[in-house]
Amino acid sequence: MQIRRAEVDDAPAMARQMRAVVEEGRWLASEVDRSVDDLTQMFQTGLEAGHILLVLDDDGEILGAAGVHPTGVEGVHSLGMSLLAEHRGSGWGRRLLDAALAEAVEAGVRKIELEVFPDNPRAIALYVSAGFDVEGMKRDHYPRLDGTLRSALLMARFLRPG
């Protein structure tokens, strides 16, 4: 297995991987109403725009991905990650996170932020161990297909002084 920069040709496999995590219904703000085609287009657009997208590649099979995306605020980017269930707890999530942070530093990102559901203690612990701090909470922010609302914990890490 290897972590590498994603290429436009990876977009369909990245979409299938993300869709598998979305279908778990617990970890990502995206929901199952987004098709693989929609997700493929999202990844292609991000890659064409120069976003940092990394994949965990096992001989052509995409097992996980991490993205570092501009937020519209100078020097601040957002981080998103997903990893197939059977590979969580194996250390690859940490390696993917570390690789994404290294790419962000190289790109001159000053601060990186993320959102995580408060009932995801493993992800929160991973982010805390990587130097992220809690900055707040978006309460009842994400509407779900079942009519409920999910809150999101806001976390961030400074990569270089302001």
In a domain, 30, yes or no: yes
The span from the CA of 81 to the CA of 76, in Å, is: 17
For 67-79, write each residue's pLDDT tens digit: 999 999 999 999 9
In a domain, 51, yes or no: yes
Is the model's pLDDT at 32 over the cut of 70?
A: no
How high is the mean pLDDT of the chain? 92
Q: Tell me whether strands 52-58 and 2-5 are parallel, antiparallel or unpaired.
A: antiparallel
Residue 159: predicted pLDDT = 96
pLDDT band per the 50, 70, 90 thresholds, residue 89: confident
In a domain, 131, yes or no: no
In a domain, 135, yes or no: no
Do residues 3 and 57 make contact, with C-beta atoms less than 8 angstroms apart?
yes
In a domain, 64, yes or no: yes
Q: What percent of the chain has pLDDT over 90?
A: 75
The span from the CA of 160 to the CA of 109, in Å, is: 8
Question: Could you tell me the CATH number of the domain that includes residue 48?
Answer: 3.40.630.30
The span from the CA of 53 to the CA of 14, in Å, is: 10
The span from the CA of 110 to the CA of 96, in Å, is: 19
**Which of 89, 100, 91 lies closest to 132, judged by CA?**
100
In a domain, 22, yes or no: yes
In a domain, 124, yes or no: no
Angle between helices 92-106 and 121-129 (to 10 degrees): 50
Domain count, the chain: 1
In a domain, 12, yes or no: yes
Residue 162: predicted pLDDT = 65
Q: What percent of the chain has pLDDT over 70?
A: 97
The span from the CA of 27 to the CA of 114, in Å, is: 13
pLDDT band per the 50, 70, 90 thresholds, residue 31: low
If one counts every other C-beta atom within 10 angstroms of the C-beta of residue 106, the result is: 10
For 103-161, write each residue's pLDDT tens digit: 999 999 999 999 999 999 999 999 999 999 999 999 999 888 888 899 999 999 999 87
Is the model's pLDDT at 25 over the cut of 90?
A: no
Domain limits for position 24: 2-112
Residue 161: predicted pLDDT = 76
